[in-house]
């Protein structure tokens, strides 16, 4: 696995004053964890964007704090962005111990083709796009694959319990929860009847208007 590093420095600017840092291309970050003193930090905005693109919330990041010889192993816990511009505002890092299991959310990647989708009117409905798991930091998977090729006429949903197990990883998400299921987009009988009635009424109006247009005008 590629080693991801990020240089950070202790941050003395706190509260609303961090807006000035952002204008200078510096993003405030925070480091916390079990038995770790919460520490306000800061780093270059461009460097942070590159790290987030590589690490997501599943890869370990080596945080090089100031001039410390040993990097702090951490994962991204929360990313705050401007709701309008989408620009980075703040990032929280959670420091881990390599011998302690942690809980993380891992994205689910769908693979294969569902035979049920070949049936007219069927559609794939995704109920979950990530799973909460527990494992050692070194065992965190990039993603979890789910083969949807078992979805046919007889199987209409795949539960968390049906995802292939991964060594060293425990699924925390409810095992009975649907990950994906087959739904339909067919119109109901009531909808079809209503459409037919509206069409019939429209034809009647058009016929009446046509007859009125062809009738001779009354003579004085």
Label residue 207 by pLDDT band (50, 70, 90): low
pLDDT higher than threshold 60 for residue 209: no
The predicted pLDDT at position 148 comes to 94
pTM: 0.73
Domains of the chain: 5-97 (2.40.240.10), 103-184 (2.170.120.20)
What is the per-residue pLDDT across 29-77, written as a single tens digit (0 to 9) for each?
Answer: 999 998 888 999 999 999 999 999 999 989 999 999 998 889 999 999 9
pLDDT higher than threshold 70 for residue 119: yes
Q: In the chain, at which residue ranges do the beta strands (DSSP E only) sit?
A: 5-10, 26-33, 36-44, 61-65, 72-81, 88-95, 102-111, 122-126, 130-135, 144-147, 157-159, 170-171, 178-184
The predicted pLDDT at position 205 comes to 58
């Amino acid at each position: 696995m590629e080693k991801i590093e990020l240089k950070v420095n202790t941050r003395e600017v706190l509260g609303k004053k961090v807006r000035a840092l952002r204008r200078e291309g510096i993003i405030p970050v925070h480091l916390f964890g079990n038995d770790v003193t919460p520490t306000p930090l800061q780093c270059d905005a461009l460097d942070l964007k590159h790290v987030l693109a590589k690490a997501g919330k599943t890869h370990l990041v080596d945080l090089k704090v100031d001039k410390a010889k040993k990097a702090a192993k951490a994962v991204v816990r929360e990313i705050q962005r401007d709701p309008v511009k989408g620009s980075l505002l703040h990032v929280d890092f959670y420091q881990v111990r390599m011998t302690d299991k942690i809980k993380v959310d891992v994205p689910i990647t769908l693979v294969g083709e569902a035979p049920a989708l070949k049936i007219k009117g069927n559609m794939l409905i995704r109920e979950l796009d990530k799973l909460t798991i527990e494992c050692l930091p070194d065992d965190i998977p990039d993603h979890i694959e789910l083969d949807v090729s078992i979805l046919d006429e007889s199987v209409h949903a795949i539960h968390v319990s049906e995802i292939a197990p991964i060594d060293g990883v425990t699924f925390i998400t409810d095992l009975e929860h649907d990950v994906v299921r087959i739904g339909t987009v067919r119109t109901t009988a009531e909808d079809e009847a209503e459409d037919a009635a509206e069409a019939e009424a429209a034809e009647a109006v058009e016929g009446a208007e046509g007859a009125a247009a062809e009738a001779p005008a009354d003579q004085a």
